[in-house]
Structure 1
Amino acid sequence: MEKHVCIIGILVNQKSENAPKVQQILTKYGSLILLRSGIPYSKCDRGIINLTVEATPDELDCMTKELSSITDIISKSMILANDANQLQICSL
């Protein structure tokens, strides 16, 4: 099945309580993650996680649904490239 290159943004509210749950999901889907960066908002007990992933539509859907199933977590995704294989082809 064709894989997409996607960006996923995750807002983690109640970070002290929810970070372990989010980390468990990210570990489960770790093979899909190309890049992960995060910004802590410790004063507000929040955090923002940015992911770049290479995933099939089903994998992306499952991952974002699992993340969004956690109370106080907001997860949004955006497809950057419909066919990841096309990004590996360079014509000179």
Structure 2
Amino acid sequence: METIIMALTIDPRSAHAPQVQTILTKYGCIITTRLGLHEANKNSCSEKGLIILHIHSNIDEVKEFENELLDVEGVKVKYMTL
């Protein structure tokens, strides 16, 4: 098992977040930590979202996960193995 930190951006967030959430749920058992960030204030909410994941899995499953995320329009993914 590898320990991996993955970051993904979603833009526009409001249009593609539901599809990304479905994929995150599918791979939920390998995600040990999830942090979602976007700029928000009283008057507006950013359309660009950032999600940081701590993943514990083998590299083949991580690549499968990455490919499913990349199939979603507006999503970019980067990860590193520790």
Q: TM-score, normalised by structure 2?
A: 0.90
Q: CA RMSD in A?
A: 1.0
Segments of 5+ residues of structure 2 without an aligned counterpart are none
Query: Which of residues 69, 72, 75 in structure 2 aligns to 1:70?
Result: 72
Q: Secondary structure at the match of 2:73?
A: coil
Report matched runs for 1:12-51 at 5 Å.
12-42=10-40, 43-51=45-53
Q: TM-score, normalised by structure 1?
A: 0.80
Higher helix share: 1
Segments of 5+ residues of structure 1 without an aligned counterpart are 81-92
Mapped to 1, the partners of 2:77 and 2:69 lie a distance apart of 6
Question: Deviations along 1:25-54, whole A, 9 cap, x unmatched?
Answer: 000000000100011135441110000000
Mapped to 2, the partners of 1:44 and 1:61 lie a distance apart of 28
User: How many aligned positions are there?
Assistant: 78
Higher CA-based Rg: 1
